Structure 1
């Protein structure tokens, strides 16, 4: 396994400090490590130059900052030119990374959702009306602005069209060029504990730990880590994360599926454990 990580912007031959523990763990386990220029991959530079330090490999795994599906496709193509094959294909990345790709498989265990293609008010109002009334959480196809909860994430009542649109407008402003796909409205479900991030390789749950937003918080109750097993199997994805949370009524729910390559590792999850699971 070749592990590919972003380069340190100030010292481009070294791994970005955020991913350095994983790079070090891979090297200590005997796996080659290569660095790439993330800014170039994200659309701000020459892709061939961005991957120039990557050696040929039949099984490569990226662990780095989030990329759009289009940027990941360009990354994969640039690597193919160097005889490097990413374990996660372009279509697989999109399926895991964007909510419309995984939602249908997970509908029974995740909050009810509706989404738009694009950011038009008419499409937003249609999705809002389809979801009904009551509170909802707003995001785009890949990410929310949950750290701006009141102004750009939480919709107190879907029936209040103008108030809901103000939240949507603010989300669009905050996400700016990173806004992806369209709006996603998800029915609000009250949770009673911090989220748990589970890690899946080839359909198996290999690690369970805290969510990066709450690295020291794990629920007291046993985690239903098998909850998304059928979903992961149906999606046929080689490396994903599934974030779980216990609802206020005690039922475990799937919050989100994510591509494992760009899912953040909480500081409390040992880097060597993740590398071992991947290899």
Structure 2
């Protein structure tokens, strides 16, 4: 198995310094790594992007650990690596299944809050949005696109206090759309806000910090997990084994939070290759677990 890090934009011969702790952890457990030029990949030049990636001598699995990739760039990376005898651990369909929230919702099922998806191509005009939210009555919601929220702008561009308060909907969603701009992915997703067990409040954004954990799952088994926030928390979530078996991905992240009303809910999935490590998760532990997993290539 090989790890693929992004190159540093200032020194292309070495990994991005943002991943320095992960690179050191990979070195410590003897995992080989290569560098991909993220900017070249985003520009559509896969040859330039992979110029520092040595070909595999035999079928070899690659785990990408880098910045989030748009699905079309992931497709290009997957194909480019295959031509070099290297197989990304998740194929493009698996990447979509966890990276794009609308694709993930069928696998999350009843284990996640009720949601409505509004694709950009169907139109994001206010009458359309307000009609879609009528099903929620006066319930509180959060808004995001297919990949990201603006949760650190909680009160301005994420949290909607009541779905039937049209002025509030227009204020929050308008802020979200304006601030996402060209980075908006797919469209809008509105999700019922479920009160979660509180651990604190973010000092700058006012965002509530709930009891939430990030779990990495590899081939259906928990690889490693840790609290999502810097607040110490020893209450780990339950297994969610059935949910994990439903997800058609070899390597994904699962964010879980405890409800004030009791039980835990699945907040969202993420592709394990682009999911960030929680602050309390030591990269050494993550890479030791990754090295112990050592996934085998799948038949093409």
Deviations 1:190-209 (A, max 9, x none): 11133211111111012111
1:70 aligns with 2:82: no
Residues in 1 aligned to 2:67 and 2:108: alpha-carbon distance in whole angstroms: 25
1:196 aligns with 2:233: no
Contact 1:194–1:217 (Cα < 8 Å) also in 2: no
Contact 2:44–2:73 (Cα < 8 Å) also in 1: no
Alignment-derived partner of residue 30 in structure 1? 30
1:262 aligns with 2:267: no
TM-score, L = length of structure 2: 0.85
Decide which of 113, 116, 119 is 1:114's aligned counterpart.
Answer: 116
Residues in 2 aligned to 1:154 and 1:33: alpha-carbon distance in whole angstroms: 40
Which stretch shows the higher mean deviation, 160-169 or 148-157?
Answer: 160-169
Query: Displacement of 1:44 after TM fit?
Result: 3.1
1:79-94 correspondence to structure 2 within 5 Å: 79-94=81-96
Contact 2:4–2:35 (Cα < 8 Å) also in 1: yes
Contact 1:113–1:131 (Cα < 8 Å) also in 2: no
Contact 1:199–1:241 (Cα < 8 Å) also in 2: yes
Decide which of 94, 97, 100 is 1:95's aligned counterpart.
Answer: 97
Residues in 2 aligned to 1:107 and 1:162: alpha-carbon distance in whole angstroms: 31
What secondary structure sits across from 1:180 in the alignment? coil
Alignment-derived partner of residue 247 in structure 2? 235
Contact 1:5–1:33 (Cα < 8 Å) also in 2: yes
1:1-279 correspondence to structure 2 within 5 Å: 1-41=1-41, 43-44=42-43, 46-57=45-56, 58-118=60-120, 119-121=123-125, 122-192=127-197, 193-211=210-228, 214=229, 216-220=230-234, 222-227=235-240, 229-278=241-290, 279=294
Query: Displacement of 1:256 after TM fit?
Result: 1.1
Query: Displacement of 1:45 after TM fit?
Result: 5.5
Deviations 1:163-222 (A, max 9, x none): 3133222111111222111110000111113321111111101211121xx2x22435x3
The count of corresponding residues between Structure 1 and Structure 2 is: 273
Residues in 2 aligned to 1:194 and 1:176: alpha-carbon distance in whole angstroms: 31
Which stretch shows the higher mean deviation, 202-211 or 45-54?
Answer: 45-54
Structure 1 unmatched ranges of 5 or more: none
Structure 2 unmatched ranges of 5 or more: 198-209, 295-300
Contact 2:97–2:248 (Cα < 8 Å) also in 1: no
What secondary structure sits across from 1:19 in the alignment? helix
